[in-house]
Amino acid sequence: MPGTSGAKAGGGAAAGSGTAANGDAEARRAEAGSGEGAASALSRGVVVLFAVACGAAVANVYFSQPLLVTIGHDLAIGPALVGSVVTLTQAGYGLGLFLLVPLGDVADRRRLIVAQLLLLVVALAVVATAPTAAVLLAGMAAVGLLAVVTQTLVAFAASLAPPARRGRVVGLVTSGVVVGILLARTASGLLADLAGWRSVYLASASLTAVLALVLSRMLPRHRDAPRPTLRYGQLLGSTVTLFARERPLRIRALFGLLIFAAFSTLWSSVALPLSEAPYFLSHSAIGALGLVGVAGALAANAAGRLNDRGLSQRTTGIALALLTASWLPLAFTRSSLWALAVGVILLDLAVQAVHVTNQTLIYALHPDAGSRLIGGYMVFYSIGSATGALAATSLYTAAGWGAVCALGAAFSLLGLALWTFTRERGTPPPAPRLTR
């Protein structure tokens, strides 16, 4: 029911003694003090730096998608094996979400971020200079594993943001993630055309090294409550415990799975009809479609502000309705590029709005476990992305673009149905947690 999470906190204080109530008041004062300190450190410039770093890191997971044919020819990788380049990168990312992101709750996030970025530079250099398929595949798995620094950055930004501004901060930082995903294919295609596929990873390694240096100097040294002293196994186990205990987290994770299944349904298959009659678009022209998607992603920044005003449920419902509606213009892709553009903007706006809302709400459940919450939530994102990609490409071959749009609409409708049946009980309004 509404306020489930807030009721838990408030109920515990009411049931306890006066000492417990005083302790809760002290905790609120401590968080308020921490928020004030964070506000002074978290300028808009620093938030933009977070967003840029997130976009640059996550782009590494998607660079290879338009390069597979070229990579296969260069390293003599057969068609049956070259697809494993993408699979291993995604698998590494999924493992990193569960194995590395939770470390942000027990380690110094600033040092952890810089260390992961430096290791990512090494992995990218291995990929760029790989002499054999085996070395390439090992490097790509490492790139995926270390690219989860993106989620450590999101959790760090959320922890630094004062509660009243947390939605806006998470919204801006998450916009960097979505922009990185959407522009990765465009950037890699252009660079590969100019200087070969290896230049993509050399350029990314150089940019990542620069970001590591800048972040080491610019990231605030956050001083908050003492971190929990958990062994690594206990840390991972506590992530599972959080899911078992927090119903809002489970529901928001299901929203994440469904919206990114819809997102991946579009973006993993849209190149297929565009490369055929009547368009016969080039890879560069298809990649430029990501620029259209960026407009929708950036417009959804307003979702963060709506969350800060306590309108999370309404934002989620409207966004899921838009996501469902986006498949109507997308169904006319073969006859109108304008319809495709409208559908892309609506879809990316809706996905971004729900994603920002999800992350803002789940972080507020347990700020001291923010990395575990966000890392666990993003595992469902990965499952949804993989499901949408596999289903869409297979369905296109069997039944065409109309069937792909029906699949995307089905994922979207499932999300809307989930919101309809859980909106009264599943997700607490953020205001009590974010303004205390």
pLDDT digits (tens, 9 = 90+) for 133-178: 999 999 999 999 999 999 899 889 888 888 888 888 888 888 888 8
Cα–Cα distance for residue pair 379/386, rounded to 1 Å: 11
Cα–Cα distance for residue pair 404/414, rounded to 1 Å: 16
Residue in the block written with tokens 């001291």: 368
pLDDT (0 to 100) of residue 29: 40
pLDDT (0 to 100) of residue 262: 95
Check whether 320 has a pLDDT greater than 60: yes
Q: What is the DSSP string of 332-360?
A: TTTT-HHHHHHHHHHHHHHHHHHHHHHHH
Cα–Cα distance for residue pair 101/376, rounded to 1 Å: 9
Cα–Cα distance for residue pair 37/22, rounded to 1 Å: 23
Amino acid at 368: D
pLDDT (0 to 100) of residue 30: 39
Residue in the block written with tokens 């609506």: 346
Q: What is the DSSP string of 415-430?
A: HHHHHHHHTTTTS--S
CB 270 within 8 A of CB 159: no
With pLDDT > 70 as the criterion, what percentage of the chain qualifies? 83
pLDDT (0 to 100) of residue 59: 94
Radius of gyration of the chain (CA): 22
What is the pTM assigned to this prediction? 0.75
* CA 114 and chain centroid, separation: 19
**Nearest Cα to Cα of residue 175 among 357, 85, 43, 52:** 52
Angle, CA of 420, 423 and 425, to the nearest 5°: 130
pLDDT digits (tens, 9 = 90+) for 68-120: 778 888 898 876 677 678 778 888 998 998 889 988 888 888 999 999 999 99
Amino acid at 171: G
Average pLDDT of the residues in 342-369: 88
Check whether 271 has a pLDDT greater than 70: yes
Instruction: Report cis status (omega within 30 of 0) of the bond before 79.
Output: no
pLDDT digits (tens, 9 = 90+) for 7-59: 333 434 333 434 333 333 333 443 444 444 444 457 888 889 999 999 999 99
Higher pLDDT, 77 or 332: 332
